Amino acid sequence: MYLFIRRIFILFLCLAIFFPGVALAGPGRTGAQILNLGGGARARALGDAFSAMSGDVTTSLWNPSGLADMPESKFRTGRKAAQASMFYTDYSAPFGEAGEGLYYTFISGAMPLGDVGTIGATLQMQGQGTIAVTTDSPDILREESLGTNFALTFSYADRITESLSAGINGKMIRMVLGRESGSSYAVDLGMQYLLPFESIPTTLGVAVQNVGPGISFIDENQADPLPRFLRIGTSVSLYQSRYHHIRLVSGITAYIDKLAEDENELAVDLDRLNAEREEKLTREQLLSDRGVGVRAFEWRHLQKNLGLEYWLGGMLALRVGYKSEPGINLPDLTDYLTGGVGARWYLFNIDFTIGPSFGPSRSRLYETTLMFIF
């Protein structure tokens, strides 16, 4: 019976990943931006190229199947280690005074259950800051909090074969907009496959994220779809010895939240956009510009990620990364680059990242993850 359930799970996972159009819908702009934030200083330093990584509790935010390969415990021979971590980002510096109260954090944990697999949980929180309340005069009456957004995720992952692992996330989401709030739920599905390259171990990771109904605050007919992604990445172990390990990671992310366009709205938009144009836009050009359906996989619409990690003796890590977001043209090459360090000692692991320039003040983000391994 257990093997039968596993096979059914694999079949469902394959259908959801390789035929996302069957399960996904939701034209329009996306809401629940807390689901866009990912997280983990290690992932950030590697340019968010994390969909093919494993053995790290924070992989549940990128590809839940990464929880299937937790490292062995140093204290319990033959058993895998449990992990707990906390990540924090303070956005006050990039936004100056307007950034007071802006932050993003998460706490996560994962526990291997032997042959049954690995379970995990993650709580994400996004502080939205405050707003000044005034009347007809410029005098400020009071400061009101804009509230905190939450996303609670429960994860399960297991190794299906020697080369294949699979995982699933179930999410509960609560968003706040002033005095209004909205909630929704979503599912992530992921797979990782160890390719048969013995000389250069290579893992391929694929994940579909945030499959679920839209989120609305007042009118259910005006719900915003969730930010649905298809992530594809690789992790290549370029060199590994007793004291040195060099890993190259890469990834692309397609935004698949808009699979179709309402034909009546499309016709209205075409007429409006072509009203003052000499060279008229065609229907196909407009769909391509918006990344609708399979056009989301055009190179210009993809997020590109690249990272390089070096471990010295399993105790000190150096990382660099590159991340390019579609539609965002940053002024300097350094704005696409990230870097960070990591240190592991006994039960503790700490990762620190310096991100690109960010916000109106063009300040850099500094992010930290603290992990306990037991």
pLDDT of amino acid 338: 94
pLDDT of amino acid 1: 41
Point out which residues pair with 26 in neighbouring strands: none
- How far is Cα 207 from Cα 98, in angstroms, rounded to an integer? 35
pLDDT of amino acid 374: 87
- How far is Cα 232 from Cα 269, in angstroms, rounded to an integer? 33
pLDDT of amino acid 221: 66
CA nearest 73: which of 347, 331, 361?
347
Q: Cite the beta strand spans of the chain per DSSP E.
A: 83-90, 102-112, 118-128, 130-134, 140-145, 148-159, 164-177, 180-195, 202-211, 229-240, 244-255, 303-312, 316-324, 337-345, 348-358, 363-373
Tokens 């500094």 locate to 366
Burial 184-211 (b: 16+ CB within 10 A, else e): bebbbbbbbbbeeeeeeebbebbbbbbb
Q: What is the pLDDT along the chain (374 residues), one digit of tens a residue?
A: 445 445 445 544 444 444 443 333 333 457 788 999 988 999 999 999 999 999 999 999 999 999 999 988 776 666 889 999 999 988 877 776 666 778 999 999 999 998 899 999 999 999 988 776 666 666 665 677 788 999 999 999 999 999 999 999 999 999 997 778 899 999 999 999 999 988 899 999 999 999 999 888 776 667 788 999 999 999 999 999 999 999 999 999 999 988 888 888 889 989 998 888 888 899 999 999 989 999 999 999 999 999 999 999 989 999 999 999 998 777 777 788 999 999 998 889 999 998 877 766 677 788 999 999 98
Distance of CA 67 to the CA centre of its chain: 15
Tokens 């996303």 locate to 151
Q: How many CA atoms lie within 13 A of 330 on its CB side?
A: 17
Q: How many CA atoms lie within 13 A of 257 on its CB side?
A: 24
pLDDT of amino acid 243: 94
pLDDT of amino acid 139: 63
* Predicted model pTM: 0.87
- How far is Cα 55 from Cα 72, in angstroms, rounded to an integer? 9
Contact 230, 251 (CB under 8 A): no
pLDDT of amino acid 17: 44
What count of other Cβ atoms lies within 10 Å of the Cβ of residue 333? 9
Domain spans of the chain, in order of start: 2-129+145-373
Contact 22, 13 (CB under 8 A): no
Contact 282, 276 (CB under 8 A): no
Class at the top of the CATH hierarchy for domain 2-129+145-373: mainly beta
- How far is Cα 85 from Cα 297, in angstroms, rounded to an integer? 34
